[in-house]
Homo-oligomer: A and B are copies of this chain.
Amino acid sequence: MNSSDPSATPPKADKATVRRHNLSLVLRTVHDEGEATRAQVAGLVGLTRAAVSSLVDQLLTDGYLTEWGKTFSGQAGRPGTALKMARTGAAGLGVEINIDYVTVCVVDLAGTDRVRLVERMDNRSAAPTAVLAQAARIAARAMESAQEQELRPVAAELALPGLVSGGAVRQAPNLGWNRVPVEGLFAQALTALRPAHRALPVSADNEANLAAMAELWFGGCAGGDGEPPLRSFIYLTGEIGIGGALVLGGQLLRGAHGFAGEIGHVVVDAEGPACRCGARGCLEQYAGQSALLRAAGLDPESGAAGVAELESRARAGDQRALAALEDAGRHLGRVLSGAVNLVDPDAVMLGGAFRVLMPWLAPAADAELTARVVSGLWTPGNGRLRASSSSGDAARGAAARVVREVLADPAAYAARRTD
């Protein structure tokens, strides 16, 4: 009785559409397996050997796959050659523009982070156009490195700490941005620098969404060590703002307008301190970096250096630091318990600064979650409250999303080749 609403049949597919779909199917199979022979691919996708061979030939020609060594299958001839994802050619470009840094990374078809360039700066003090122009310069430098490695980014995805829709940042309270058409401005800045990049498609999303996808694709969620992969979790970034994202059943929850996940602006105390969003008493004012640093007696604007200092003070047993962290953990736990009661995830993942401060935040947060999650499924230290892995961040998630798009329709990106 619990199946969902029956859906309509898919539209009819013509031969060319079927071949495009099957190209993707074969490419994704090799991607997921890491390495596979044509025979193995045929077995996994349920197509004939002849059909798979024809598809593989096209994927080799387009530079998506490479042949690699020989497997000793006991059978004669070519079929024993292993296929792998190409380490050159099509790649994804991810550009995270955050409050006090810009990170650019290039991810290859296998998902490996091949180029990473991080520059720290205060993006609150410059105009949006200047910040985007600077990000474009950093991206262009990363693309030079990529080019030397024979990687060719086919699209760029921007990650931004705010509400993103229709190619624009609708609102990014901590940057002070309102209605900034980021996709267009970044594409323009990149084209001005490198006219050859004119055709590079640019898209944008919220940084917490992309960090959560990186966690899903590359982090502890991916399973391993006999653990089942995590498919449903709430993800919190711990940057200057608190970003959030919901991944439910392996899918990012976007919401009706693309603005889901704004856990940083859930109210803690309706009469609390004013928040940059315009309301009062939001979680960010209790557990955001500035609030935490201020409560610990540190410079609230000291950013990553301040967080490192807070960590070392907590480690040394500094009472004020410990009290500030316990208090923030308690507020995090209260707001998270409401979120868990609402969406019933498998876990909550804390990223960014929260990740390093986890040992001192977690006990109080866990106690609140245990007391308030009504299903009774939360018990202290049951491993549901986790630090995010260090292998994924918003920039990698952004670049990897471009790669996923290539995997979903390789023919579309092969056609776009100009080099």
Q: Is A270 an interface residue (CB 8 A)?
A: yes
Are A345 and B256 in touch, CB under 8 angstroms? yes
* 18 further interface pairs, Cβ-Cβ under 8 Å (given A9-B46, A232-B255, A267-B338): A1-B155, A1-B205, A1-B405, A5-B250, A5-B251, A5-B404, A6-B408, A12-B46, A163-B374, A253-B343, A256-B344, A257-B375, A259-B377, A261-B342, A262-B374, A265-B372, A265-B374, A270-B368
Residue of B nearest to A178 (CB): B376
Q: In the bound complex, what is the Cα–Cα distance between A255 and B45 (angstroms)?
A: 30
Q: In the bound complex, what is the Cα–Cα distance between A2 and B248 (angstroms)?
A: 16
Residues of chain B within 8 A of A345, CB atoms compared: 255-256
Are A279 and B372 in touch, CB under 8 angstroms? yes
Picked from B2, B9, B282, B334, the residue with its CB within 8 Å of the CB of A203 is: B2
The 12 listed contacts between A and B (C-beta, < 8 Å) are: A2-B205, A232-B255, A256-B344, A256-B346, A257-B375, A257-B377, A259-B344, A263-B342, A265-B374, A270-B334, A270-B368, A278-B371
Residues of chain B within 8 A of A262, CB atoms compared: 341-342, 344, 374-375
Q: In the bound complex, what is the Cα–Cα distance between A255 and B282 (angstroms)?
A: 25
Residues of chain B within 8 A of A407, CB atoms compared: 6
Q: In the bound complex, what is the Cα–Cα distance between A8 and B337 (angstroms)?
A: 34
Q: Is A89 an interface residue (CB 8 A)?
A: no
Q: Is A151 an interface residue (CB 8 A)?
A: no
Are B2 and A343 in touch, CB under 8 angstroms? no
Q: Is A339 an interface residue (CB 8 A)?
A: yes
Picked from B12, B25, B46, B266, the residue with its CB within 8 Å of the CB of A338 is: B266
Q: Specify how many copies of this chain sit in the oligomer.
A: 2
Q: Is A157 an interface residue (CB 8 A)?
A: yes
Q: A121 to chain B: closest CB distance in Å?
A: 25
Are B163 and A402 in touch, CB under 8 angstroms? no
Q: A85 to chain B: closest CB distance in Å?
A: 15
Q: A147 to chain B: closest CB distance in Å?
A: 22
Residue of B nearest to A157 (CB): B1
Binary CB contact string for chain A from 178 to 197 against chain B (1 if under 8 A, 0 otherwise): 00000000000000000000
Q: In the bound complex, what is the Cα–Cα distance between A75 and B345 (angstroms)?
A: 57
Are B257 and A371 in touch, CB under 8 angstroms? no
Q: Is A401 an interface residue (CB 8 A)?
A: yes
Are B258 and A253 in touch, CB under 8 angstroms? no
Q: Is A19 an interface residue (CB 8 A)?
A: no
Are A258 and B9 in touch, CB under 8 angstroms? no
Q: Is A290 an interface residue (CB 8 A)?
A: no
Binary CB contact string for chain A from 1 to 37 against chain B (1 if under 8 A, 0 otherwise): 1111110110010000000010011001000000000
Residues of chain B within 8 A of A46, CB atoms compared: 9, 12
